[in-house]
């Protein structure tokens, strides 16, 4: 199920440059690692893990649905993969 969701959201042609992919991957892994450290407020851990995971996945796939919506003028149909 997770693989189908990932393919649905992050599938398609990459829309990130190699620089954007590298920076996203490194920052995402760093933020996720920081989120794995114990903190007094567990909400910060969850937010850091979610944000870091998103950035790492964005860098690994080369596809960013947010950038597609903002830059490429992606409509709901384009983001859903329909034409």
Domain assignment present for 1 = no
Q: Tokens 């693989």 map to which residue?
A: 3
Q: What is the pLDDT of residues 30-48, one digit of tens each?
A: 999 999 998 898 999 999 9
Mean pLDDT of 68-75: 72
Asked if residue 6 is part of any domain, the answer here is no
Residue at 62 is within a domain: yes
Residue 29, domain member (yes or no)? yes
Which of 17-26, 29-38, 60-69 has the least mean pLDDT?
A: 60-69
Domain membership of residue 67 (yes or no) is: yes
Looking at the structure of the chain, the number of domains it has is 1
Evaluate if residue 22 carries a pLDDT over 80: yes
How many Å apart are CA 77 and CA 75, to the nearest integer? 5
Kindly state whether residue 7 falls inside one of the protein's structural domains. no
Domain extent at residue 72: 17-79
Q: Are 58 and 16 in contact (CB under 8 A)?
A: yes
**What's the pTM value of the predicted model, to 2 decimals?**
0.74
């Amino acid at each position: 199920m997770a693989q189908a969701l990932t393919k649905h959201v992050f599938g398609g042609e990459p829309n990130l440059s190699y620089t954007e992919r590298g920076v996203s991957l490194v920052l995402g892994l760093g933020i996720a690692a920081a989120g794995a450290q114990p903190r007094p407020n567990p909400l910060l851990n969850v937010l850091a893990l979610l944000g870091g995971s998103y950035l790492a996945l964005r860098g690994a796939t080369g596809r960013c649905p947010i950038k597609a919506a903002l830059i490429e003028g992606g409509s709901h149909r384009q983001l859903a993969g329909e034409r």
